[in-house]
Structure 1
């Protein structure tokens, strides 16, 4: 484990949360933390409360907790890129269908899709879902348009095409309006954003990641006991890049807080398997070899939107003999949720993708609120813990190039 494993218990912690591809205001994460931390505290028998953040910097909140006889304070900041997400989702309906064609070609033409299918079926199905749903929506709109044109043809002739086309566009706009229930456009924009440059980091996101690195470096210069970076979903591989850049830019001084990295429900192979993802593959390899961090990757086979128990370094084909990380663990939803709770959630795929940030009614060693507000560093909490036996480590990606 990290060289900081044996440090005294944590009294003060800085947490930086990197969301996935999400256009929602970060207050959503504050309210989720407030609600779910109270639920977990009732189950696990500790005390926890949140209050507004003081001072400047990213959006966040302050946490106080008493666990295992220790009082702990934590400041949690959300490293926001939701504005970039919103801008990428502002395409018209025709532009979205063009994105569909380009994204499908990127994954199939490069061979990445066939390799991804050898990992986990769930996230591949999730990736194919928006393609199928958008095609179905277009087919329905065209079928209704044909019916309208057929009905009016004998009366209006070619003019019947005017109401037919108008009806088709109205239907497509209605489908987009209810996308908060269908998620077809949302997921299409998500995959299209990653695939737009075949795995290379877009310029506007690269600039934002440099700002994230600066925030974390500043925290490492304070007198807290641990700096914990949490990356969820797409935020997991963004966190890899941020921390790799941070260490490369000047290393990590000995006199500093413990530096920990927790990745949850990662979808890294969707990017690292693409031909121009050399930067990400380089960062994965580099970070996996670092002795002065702790990197724990948590996922669950019950999460159909994540590449569950797939070692992001190993499956990307960039593991070396010096690889130390990540420690791949299962949140084991079928064991850590009661049968009643599991039955309630098992078909709510997007809700399950956020379960890592929520309460478990039969918790085991993974507890998000003990990790973010408890008295142990991430390294101390999982010291000596064996990785999941069912993890997937063999190299699958066709593209394994890294920058030297």
Structure 2
């Protein structure tokens, strides 16, 4: 069962056996905290039943949204350990909004061709062909659909107009009818194709894919703001919590493009934490990331150094959970692909979420047909097995060592 907020407040007042502070960095999404708070609340009941824990949010929805943070209480058996998790959003929606380009479909269409050309010219498409097939398809999907739509529209218009003119001539229609009929057919064909395109782009989230790929290219080339200052702000907030020493563990989650900001913030956090000084256990977690795609686009040497630093340090733990079938991610490409680590060894612990094993077959079939829903599955409870489960991880009553629970 899931406790009410009042019961959760009472549980929080009793104290906790383990305290965790989660910092969540969202992806290329302008919608902000309400969407992610909604995702979390929607999963409470299922996660509680799934893991036999009473998991609840202390604050009301209004309080949580006003603060951009909420407190999660969790307890298993009556005498089991109590876990208190402070869940804090680290938003960058204003930056996303700057490069979202609403109602600029022509600009987005051109960007889709530019990105496909860039990745082909730099050998990225060839490199991603097998290990990141879903992303390979996503990169080529929009330009391919636009070309096919253009060809289909041209063929349908020509065929429809020719048929209308032929019928008009055969039936001995007046001259004005012979002219008006083809025009009417052309307008009808264009309207039907436009309706079909609108449905297709909504289903496949065509412009969302184009937007986040274009943002990566713009940052790599230096045309867009790389937001180092924002990442440093994030790191400063993390260090405040680390220095206070009031929690047992800090978990920083970078979902989707949020992983790029996690890399920058994680490296800055390392610079802020004094070497040799004890503090909360610190874990960085990337979910459905596109880090190697950004790295291989080139141009951002500082980012490459930051990634090498957090991937090889023993002062924090870096976990990666990314599905090989997620079109919004770099799939099975290593997080440190293309990074020169020198003599150092990568300490990144990577694994797939195995959605096909942790979800019921019907659920898995549904999300496979909905790319955006598939990409957000990382943030939802599992349904079976002992694989990755976001809620289990956030409320785990012990330090995080791996991304999955012990059977």
Same topology, TM > 0.5: yes
Give the equivalent residue in structure 2 for 1:213: 235
Q: How far apart in 2 are the matches of 1:235 and 1:347?
A: 24
Q: Is contact 1:67–1:375 with CA below 8 Å preserved after alignment?
A: no
Alignment counterpart, residue 218 of structure 2, candidates 184, 196, 201: 196
Q: Deviations over 1:204-259 (max 9, x none)?
A: 63332222222212221221111110111221232111111222345456232111
Determine which structure has greater relative contact order: mean sequence separation of CA pairs < 8 Å that are 6+ residues apart, divided by chain length: 1
Q: Deviations over 1:99-136 (max 9, x none)?
A: 22322222122222222224221111122212222333
In our comparison, the structure showing a higher alpha carbon Rg is: 2
1:308 aligns with 2:319: no
1:87 and 2:98 are equivalent in the alignment: yes
- From 108, 111, 115, the equivalent of 1:99 is 111
Tell me the CA shift for residue 14 of structure 1: 1.2
CA RMSD of aligned residues (A): 3.6
Q: Which residue, out of 85, 96, 103, partners 1:74?
A: 85
Residue in structure 1 matched with residue 394 of structure 2 by the alignment:
372
Stretches of structure 2 that go unaligned for 5 or more consecutive residues are: 1-15, 166-174
Partner of 1:274: 297
What residue number does 2:30 align with? 23
Q: How does 1:312-323 map to 2 (within 5 A)?
A: 312-313=335-336, 315-323=337-345
Contact 1:17-1:230 at 8 Å conserved across structures = yes
Is 1:339 aligned to residue 361 of structure 2?
yes
| Aligned residue pairs, count | 374
Identify the structure with the greater helix proportion.
2
Specify which of 380, 400, 405 is matched with residue 358 of structure 1. 380
After TM superposition, list the pairs within 5 Å mapping 1:2-401 onto structure 2.
11-52=18-59, 59-67=68-76, 69-90=80-101, 92-142=104-154, 175=197, 179-198=201-220, 200=222, 202-203=224-225, 205-222=227-244, 223-249=246-272, 251=274, 254-313=277-336, 315-379=337-401
SS of corresponding position for 1:285 = helix
Give me the whole-angstrom Cα distance separating, in 2, the residues matched to 1:361 and 1:380.
19
Aligned to 1:390: none
For residue 343 of structure 2, give the secondary structure of its aligned residue in structure 1: coil
Contact 1:284 1:318 in 2 (8 A): no
2:172 corresponds in structure 1 to none
* Whole-angstrom distance in 1 between the partners of 2:322 and 2:316: 20
1:266-287 deviation per Cα after TM superposition (whole angstroms, max 9, x unaligned): 2212211112132322222111
C-alpha distance after superposition, 1:61-84 (max 9, x if no partner)? 221111361111111112112232
- Residues 1:97 and 1:241: Cα distance change in structure 2 (over 3 Å): same
Aligned partners of 1:207 and 1:169: how far apart in 2?
46
Give, in whole Å, the separation in 2 of the partners of 1:330 and 1:181: 25
Contact 1:291–1:324 (Cα < 8 Å) also in 2: no
Report if aligned partners of 2:382, 2:388 keep a CA contact under 8 Å in 1. Answer: no
Alpha carbons of 1:302 and 1:164: their partners in 2 closer, same or farther (altered >3 Å)? closer
- Whether the 8 Å contact between 1:131 and 1:188 is mirrored in structure 2 is no
CA distance in 1: counterparts of 2:364 and 2:101, whole angstroms = 36
TM-score of the superposed pair, with normalisation by structure 1: 0.79
CA contact (8 A) 2:132 2:332 kept: no
Q: How far 1:316 sits from its partner (Å)?
A: 2.1
Q: Distance in 2 between matches of 1:142 and 1:52?
A: 57
Q: Which runs of 5+ in 1 are unaligned?
A: 1-8, 386-404
Q: Tell me the SS of whatever aligns to 1:255.
A: coil
Deviations 1:294-325 (A, max 9, x none): 11111233434433343211x22423432242
Q: Does the 8 A contact of 1:309 with 1:329 survive in 2? A: no
